[in-house]
Structure 1
Amino acid sequence: MASKTPVYAFLICVLQFLHLCAAQNVKGGYWFPDSGIAASDIDSTLFTHLFCAFSDLNSNTNQVVISSANAAQFSQFTNTVQIKNPSVKTLLSIGGGASSYNFHGLDLDYEYPLSANDMVNLGTLLDEWRVAAAAEAQASGKQRILLTAAVSVGPSVDGLRYPIQSISRSLDWINVMAYDFYGPPWAPSMTNAHAALYDPSGRVSASSGISSWIQAGVSANKLVLGLPFYGYSWQLANANNHGLMAPANGAPGGSGDGSKGYNQILDFIANNNAPKVYNSTIVADYCYSGTTWIGYDDKQSISTKVPYAKQKGLLGYFAWHVAADANWALSQQAKQAWGA
């Protein structure tokens, strides 16, 4: 890790331009320039917080880097989304940060620390963030900015434990990425729900991950549940065997990693008259046609997951990513399910 001095200086420089919103429940969503829609097309009335992704951090200079291709869109992101919803708060997500772009906070998306030393350094960075944010707020007379991070579904990654104490004392909340449990690139041989809320077999699930974070010492009101507005497609080994955990041969040909946005999934269903199945035991949806099988979250899954998050005392939910929605159906369902 680089010396603390330049990191601290970098944070002070960044934070002097940012402002904090009052604590509130989170109805969040991520957007990025190549997602398929312009920031001006986001229905920001459906969100309390919008994450603009991604800026990068130059590992040699500790400077935030925003590409010239994205600079104009990032600089206007806050003003743009506040036209429809003046109260929506924006955070710049660091994928790898900000400039004088009027963001209300910073979000760290670090996927993933690879060693115990990485985890220690992550804790140091989070604590330095908080110190720098507090110093900026005191110097400017403004409220402190929001500090968040996107994290794995559970408090450990490949046996490496997140810095729980630093997370608890230094971040306003963490976005729990409760998805990507299964997918054709890393689980090619059978279909599965990549973001199931429950798993009776005891394997990974959103609920077990949330419980693990709480048991590790992070308060429920610092947890925000991730909702995937996308799914994964597998090629069935036998078109007549099309249930969960059916034998498969990876992603269908020409589909890359097999990922499909919710809007694309609805098109697939309509174009192929594909049957849809909702599994209430695990809280997940899937559809199929021929040898193509797609696992995803439809409105019924969203309307079950969001009340779960609220009942558990979580701070809220977030979506990856808003452009994959279909006429804002999932976003509207999530907001309605959370209630006032």
Structure 2
Amino acid sequence: MLISLLQLHLLAGQDAVRAGYWFPGSEFPVSDIDSTLFTHLFCAFADLDPETNQVVVASSNQAQFSTFTQTVQQKNPSVKTLLSIGGGSNTIFHGLDLDWEYPSSATEMTNLGLLLNEWRAAIDNESTSTGNSSLLLAAAFFRSSDYYTIDYPIQAIANSLDWINVMAYDFYGPLWSNLTGPPAALYNPGNDQVSGSYGVSTWIQAGVTANKIVLGLPFYGYAWQLADANNHGFFAPSVGAALSSDGSAGYGQIEDFISENNATTVYNSTVVSNYCYSGTTWIGFDDTQSISAKVSYAKENGLLGYFAWHVAADDDWVLSQTASDTWGA
């Protein structure tokens, strides 16, 4: 299925962003999304045809993608939808989201800037020629304004995008850390540069205004196998992943683990992260306390809002409801 910009229209101006991603690999029905808890929903992922440079949706996803907006608006007619591009149609979305993980050279960063400028020009031209409201343009970026010292094209980002989704997670995981750690710490006194607050500050200092920044919330965590069951705090030695090949586990799975194993749970307000442990299994994640604190941080610091990856990992909408309630009307 090929989609042109002309097929992706509609939009009113956006206020705060309370968003979540959905993707078909989660095997979570679109009709089960409680869209009343969100202002924006991302449908992930479409690809680019390398020969035509058109947006293309895999045939296996066509049915769900083509009815995504209609389906989620049944519960919330005002929710806006964006087609996320990364990883004959009448498909209508309210915007586009770019998920390039990650431009890893100066040349790729330059090309990213060119792409964003061209997208903005095309969208403005389309709006002028059709009379339709302009599409939303968003992009998911690294936790800080440089990708391991390679700077993002800030001017193009500031000029072209309605907002950026800052992926303030995946800081620690068992495949790249032999110590347990907070996967999405808001603060990190031991290593401040590996924290959500530091990442947000770099974007602001680089020139992206706070009201164009949306903070990422992970609805999942990572599980480690402890080297010593009696050493079970942050930064305890581990011997690899637990629960899955890479240690990742959705919030619902983590809640099941806690219940089934009578696991001890801890909230660290200094770091703003939760963890639990039972025997040699240790899991770092965000529970309701962390989610509430992060949303409060976003609101108090003038950010545009928050987004969650991903909605299917929630447990009966507990985290989504917490985030929505904390942000308020």
Q: State the TM-score, normalized to the length of structure 1.
A: 0.94
Alignment correspondent of 1:116: 106
Does the aligned pair in 2 maintain the 1:14–1:99 contact within 8 Å? no
What is the distance in 2 between the residues matched to 1:162 and 1:144?
24
The answer on 1:145 being equivalent to 2:139 is no
C-alpha RMSD over aligned residues: 1.4
Alignment correspondent of 1:44: 35
Deviation per CA, 1:102-132: give whole Å up to 9, x if none. Answer: 1000000000012101000000000001000
Q: Which amino acid aligns with 2:122?
A: A
Q: 1:170 to 1:99 in 2, by over 3 A?
A: farther
Q: Any idea what SS the aligned residue of 1:332 has?
A: helix
- Deviation larger for 199-208 or 220-229: 199-208
Q: Identical aligned pairs, as a percentage?
A: 64
What is the distance in 2 between the residues matched to 1:17 and 1:278?
43
Does the aligned pair in 1 maintain the 2:5–2:123 contact within 8 Å? no
What is the distance in 2 between the residues matched to 1:100 and 1:157?
37
Deviation per CA, 1:163-189: give whole Å up to 9, x if none. Answer: 0000000000000000001111111x1
Alignment correspondent of 2:271: 282
The answer on 1:35 being equivalent to 2:41 is no
In structure 1, list runs of 5 or more residues that go unmatched: 1-9
- 1:18, CA displacement in angstroms? 1.6
- 1:240, CA displacement in angstroms? 0.8
- 1:16, CA displacement in angstroms? 4.7
What is the distance in 2 between the residues matched to 1:127 and 1:296?
37
Deviation per CA, 1:232-254: give whole Å up to 9, x if none. Answer: 000100011111000001202x6
Q: State the TM-score, normalized to the length of structure 2.
A: 0.97
Residues 1-340 of structure 1 aligned to structure 2 (within 5 Å): 13-96=4-87, 100-187=90-177, 189-201=178-190, 202-252=192-242, 255-340=244-329
Q: Any idea what SS the aligned residue of 2:50 has?
A: coil
Q: Any idea what SS the aligned residue of 2:240 has?
A: coil
Alignment correspondent of 1:6: none
Does the aligned pair in 1 maintain the 2:19–2:307 contact within 8 Å? yes
Does the aligned pair in 2 maintain the 1:15–1:133 contact within 8 Å? no
- 1:21, CA displacement in angstroms? 2.5
What is the distance in 1 between the residues matched to 2:199 and 2:17?
19
In structure 2, list runs of 5 or more residues that go unmatched: none
What is the distance in 1 between the residues matched to 2:147 and 2:235?
24
What is the distance in 1 between the residues matched to 2:104 and 2:51?
19
What is the distance in 2 between the residues matched to 1:291 and 1:157?
34
Q: Number of paired residues?
A: 327
Q: 1:99 to 1:26 in 2, by over 3 A?
A: farther
Q: Any idea what SS the aligned residue of 2:198 has?
A: helix
What is the distance in 2 between the residues matched to 1:114 and 1:59?
19
Q: 1:321 to 1:336 in 2, by over 3 A?
A: same
